[in-house]
Homo-oligomer: A and B are copies of this chain.
Amino acid sequence: MSRWRLLIESADQEGLVHKTTGVLYRARCNVIVNHEFADDKAGRFFMRTEFTGDVDKEKIMEELWRVLPPQPFVKLSQPGKARLVVMGSREHHCLTDLLTRCAFGELDATVDAVVSNHDVLRTFVERAEIPFHLVSHEGISRADQEQQILEVLDEIQPDYIVLAKYMRILSPEFVSRYANRIINIHHSFLPAFVGAKPYHQAWERGVKVIGATAHFVNEELDQGPIIEQQVIPVNHSHGPIDMARAGRDVERQVLARAMRLVIEERVFLNGHRTVIFD
C-alpha cells in the first residue's frame, strides 16, 4: 500500500474535519497521523494528514474540493526526497551538519549543489560528491553575483534554498523568485538583534540567554515567518567570541530541526506567522 501526505489550507468553516476525514474514510484510507488547526482570528483552516491506501488520487482531490470552501489549497502526494541547494560562506557548522544529515538519510532530502562566496568549504563538499559553485561577491555588483547564483539555481530547480550562514543580504528580486522557499538561520532569538553581529549586540546588552532563529526569507531583513527558535544561557564570563562558539551549537540544531519540519511539509504559512504540525 502506498503512503500519502495530504495538505489542506482553506477558509475556516464548521465541520471541515468531519468532511475531510469523511473523504478519506470512504476511500478506505488508513490514517496514520492527522493534525488540524483553525485560526479563529484569520478565519483560516489548516490540515495535514498522513495515510496509507490504494487510492485514486484524482477522485480524492475532486471530493475534497467538493467539501471544502471555495479556492482551497490542496496537495496530495507520495512523499519523496526534497531537493536542496545550500548556500554557504566561510562558517562550516550549519553546512556540514546539513550535508551529513542528508547523506545519511536523517533528513529526507538531497543536497543537489552548494553555492558559496568563499572557497573554504569546497573540499568538504566535493568529498561528499556534491557540486560546489564558487560565486564570489568581490569585484562584482550584487545584481551580477545574484545573476550567477540564479543560473545555478534555475538549472537545478530546487525545492528549497537553505542559507547556511550565507551572511549576505539577498535582493527582493532574488527572494521573490523563490518566494517561501528560502530558509535562513539567524544567530539571535529574533526579533532581538536584527542585522549584523548579533552576538556583539547581545554582549553589549548583557543578555543572559542567546539563541538562534530559522525563518523563511522575505523582502524585509530578518522579518520573515519564524519556523524554529532555541536559546541557551550565557553569563558575564562570555565575551562575544564565547557567545559565538556556544551559539554555533544552537544554530546548527535550530536549522536542522527547521529543515526537517520544512522537508516533511509540516510548516504552513499563516500571514507573518507559521503553523507547524509536529
Query: Any chain B CB within 8 A of the CB of A127?
Result: yes
User: Is A208 a contact of B191 with CB atoms below 8 Å?
Assistant: no
User: Is A248 a contact of B208 with CB atoms below 8 Å?
Assistant: no
Instruction: Say whether, besides A192-B191, A209-B211, A237 and B104 are in contact (CB < 8 Å).
Output: no
User: Is B253 a contact of A206 with CB atoms below 8 Å?
Assistant: no
CB < 8 Å neighbour of A31 from B14, B104, B190, B209? B14
Measured between beta carbons, the chain B residues less than 8 angstroms from A10 are none
What are 9 A-B contacts defined by CB distance under 8 Å?
A: A17-B31, A18-B24, A96-B104, A191-B192, A205-B272, A206-B226, A208-B226, A209-B231, A235-B276
Query: Any chain B CB within 8 A of the CB of A36?
Result: yes
Query: Any chain B CB within 8 A of the CB of A100?
Result: yes
Instruction: Say whether, besides A191-B192, A231-B231, A237 and B37 are in contact (CB < 8 Å).
Output: yes
Q: Copies per complex?
A: 4
Provide the main secondary structure of the chain A interface: mixed
User: Is B21 a contact of A34 with CB atoms below 8 Å?
Assistant: no
Instruction: Say whether, besides A104-B92, A127-B127, A270 and B208 are in contact (CB < 8 Å).
Output: no
Measured between beta carbons, the chain B residues less than 8 angstroms from A31 are 14, 17
Q: How many residues of chain A get a CB closer than 8 Å to chain B's CBs?
A: 62
Query: With contacts A189-B209, A190-B207, A205-B273 known, what are 5 further pairs, Cβ within 8 A?
Result: A14-B25, A17-B31, A97-B97, A127-B128, A206-B225
In the bound complex, CA of A272 to CA of B207 (Å): 10
Instruction: Say whether, besides A209-B211, A209-B230, A256-B249, A30 and B17 are in contact (CB < 8 Å).
Output: no
In the bound complex, CA of A203 to CA of B276 (Å): 15
In the bound complex, CA of A276 to CA of B253 (Å): 24
In the bound complex, CA of A97 to CA of B230 (Å): 20
Query: Any chain B CB within 8 A of the CB of A180?
Result: no
Measured between beta carbons, the chain B residues less than 8 angstroms from A41 are 239
Chain B min CB distance to A241 (Å) = 12
User: Is A18 a contact of B22 with CB atoms below 8 Å?
Assistant: yes
Instruction: Say whether, besides A17-B17, A18-B18, A231-B231, A276 and B236 are in contact (CB < 8 Å).
Output: yes
In the bound complex, CA of A41 to CA of B22 (Å): 24
Measured between beta carbons, the chain B residues less than 8 angstroms from A15 are 21, 25
